[in-house]
Amino acid sequence: MYYTMNKSSATLKDKYIKVEGWSSILLNSLLFILKYWAGVATGSMALIADAWHTLSDSVSSVIVLIGGTISRKPADHDHPFGHGRVEHITAIIIGVLLAIIAFDFMVGAVAKFGTREATVYGTIAWVVTIISVFVKEAMAQFAFLAARKTGSNILSADAWHHRTDALSSLLILAGLFVGKYFWWTDAVLTFLVALMIGYASYDILKKEIHALMGEQPSEELLDRIIQTAQGSSQIQLHLHHIHIHSYGDHTELSCHIKLPPEMTLVEAHEICTRVEKDILEKFGFITTVHPEPLPGPVPLK
């Protein structure tokens, strides 16, 4: 996503990040205690895995708060385009954290297969798991809403973290129905939960690394930019060589236009300024326009 955030939007983003981050830390810490207690009481590795997955949400929320604070720092001498890309780095940290958790519980699931030990689930497992499903999905919905309203990569990554936790709890809930019939149920559930966590990690890392490496703008966006620029002048501008660089909440655009060679420097500057102003108003991009002479003399219209 390419955009430059105004002051009111930045304030709204700051508010959502703080509310989502602190509520996530509080609720996830409470859920971790409940799930871990239920896992130890029943001997379920799947519940314990789910508990640590929930605790990792608290850790990622701390990262969200820290990353959100840093990304809002204004531009300085060393970072003239601001600190917005910290959001991508923060989301990558969350993705790596998920990958480590997934691998750890995959190893644990394989080990439990070797023990051939059955797990007896009690009422406590049912109650805690049902509570977890509803609470985590509510948290995911709020984080997704906040991400849509603010365009925050951090909130989107945290939302997927909540969603995978809700789905893993739902998976465990389904396993409770058949757990008493098959000794390997808990091991399978642990492995499936680990796979879900791993997929969430892959999805986050793929998107954020792609964004850091630089994304190719869509043809639709390029067409809209060209139309907006052309609307600034009655002369055909031949807009080309469009480059867009995103720095989180700040986006820089550079492009070239072609103008008649007999046009004065003042006239060319006025056209470039109008193009930059119209693109800023339409897209929020800080634009730099480089004029080039058309080949041969071209009469002004």
List, in order of start, the domains of the chain with CATH numbers.
7-213 (1.20.1510.10), 219-293 (3.30.70.1350)
**DSSP state letter for 247:** E
- Looking at residue 48, its pLDDT comes to 80
Check residue 140 and report its DSSP letter: H
Q: What is the mean pLDDT of the chain?
A: 78
Q: Which ranges of the chain have pLDDT less than 50?
A: 1-6, 298-301
Q: At what angle do helices 153-178 and 86-115 cross, to 10 degrees?
A: 20
d(CA 24, CA 158): 9
- Residue 150 · residue 9 · CB < 8 Å: yes
Give the pLDDT score at 82: 56
What is the Cα 189 distance to its own chain's centre? 27
What pLDDT is stored for residue 8 in this prediction?
55
Measured CA to CA in angstroms, residue 185 lies from 103, 113, 170, 173, 202 at distances of 19, 10, 14, 12, 26
Query: How many Cβ atoms from other residues are within 10 Å of residue 78's Cβ?
Result: 6
Q: Where are the alpha helices (DSSP H) in the chain?
A: 7-42, 45-71, 86-115, 123-150, 153-178, 185-213, 219-230, 265-283
What was the pLDDT predicted at 5? 47
Q: Which pLDDT does position 277 carry in this prediction?
A: 92
**pLDDT at site 274:** 92
pTM: 0.58
The pLDDT value given to residue 298 = 46
Span 18-31, pLDDT tens digits: 788 788 888 888 98
Q: How many CB atoms lie within 10 A of CB 46?
A: 35
Residues 245-288: tens digit of each pLDDT? 776 667 788 899 999 888 899 999 999 999 999 998 888 888 89
How high is the pLDDT of residue 104?
Answer: 79
Amino acid in position 107: V
pLDDT in tens, 45-54: 777 877 877 7
> For residue 216, what are the contacts with CB-CB under 8 A and spacing of at least 6?
none
Distances (CA, A) of 58 to 32, 226, 236: 9, 45, 55
| pLDDT value of residue 172 | 77
